[in-house]
């Protein structure tokens, strides 16, 4: 603990509520579980699909990717996957990064996850809607 923080007039309760650990932890806990439950069928479907396409060429793979029954679960997978990844990596960063870059690292990681999820969804839609 930074001794300077102990000098201020705020009560320990006010500090705890203000810092958010007593406020939003339950939401993050639930989000991690809900995304985990969603990822069980989505990742198993994806793994089975990839195994089924072992040795397939580009054209065969694109035909598979183009059908709605592939594109829809794949987009759901990307959203749930990067949501779950962001929640997990945030805990890892908060556990091991204690310097001033902790906040910046969490923001950069979240932006990265958002950008990667968007890129994956756009790539999937581009293939799905290509003639």
Binding site for another protein (CB under 8 A): 1, 3, 6, 11-12, 33, 36-37, 39-40, 43-44, 47, 51-55, 58, 61-62, 65, 78, 81-82, 85, 88-89, 92, 116-117, 119-120, 122-124, 126-127
Which lies closer to another protein via its Cβ, residue 19 or residue 51?
51
What tokens were used for 55? 């040795």
Q: Are 109 and 97 in contact (CB under 8 A)?
A: no
Minimum separation from the CB atom of position 88 to another protein (A): 5
Q: Tokens 């339950």 — which residue? A: 26
Minimum separation from the CB atom of position 42 to another protein (A): 11
Which lies closer to another protein via its Cβ, residue 22 or residue 37?
37
Report the candidate in 23, 11, 35 with the shortest Cα–Cα distance to residue 86: 35
Minimum separation from the CB atom of position 106 to another protein (A): 14
Which lies closer to another protein via its Cβ, residue 73 or residue 120?
120
Q: Tokens 């709605």 — which residue? A: 68
Q: Are 32 and 84 in contact (CB under 8 A)?
A: yes
Minimum separation from the CB atom of position 67 to another protein (A): 14
Which lies closer to another protein via its Cβ, residue 40 or residue 108?
40
Cβ neighbours of residue 60 under 8 Å, at least 6 residues apart?
A: 53
Report the candidate in 86, 47, 46 with the shortest Cα–Cα distance to residue 69: 46
């Amino acid at each position: 603990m930074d001794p300077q923080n102990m000098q201020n007039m705020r009560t320990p309760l006010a500090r705890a509520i203000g810092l958010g650990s007593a406020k939003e932890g339950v939401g993050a806990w639930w989000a991690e579980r809900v995304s985990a439950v969603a990822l069980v069928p989505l990742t198993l479907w994806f793994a089975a699909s990839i195994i089924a396409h072992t040795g397939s060429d580009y054209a065969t793979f694109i035909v598979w990717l183009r059908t709605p029954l592939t594109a829809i679960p794949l987009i759901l997978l990307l959203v749930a996957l990067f949501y779950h990844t962001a929640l997990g990596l945030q805990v890892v960063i908060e556990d091991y990064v204690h310097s001033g870059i902790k906040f910046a690292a969490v923001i950069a990681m979240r932006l990265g996850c958002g950008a990667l999820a968007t890129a994956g969804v756009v790539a999937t839609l581009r293939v799905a809607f290509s003639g």
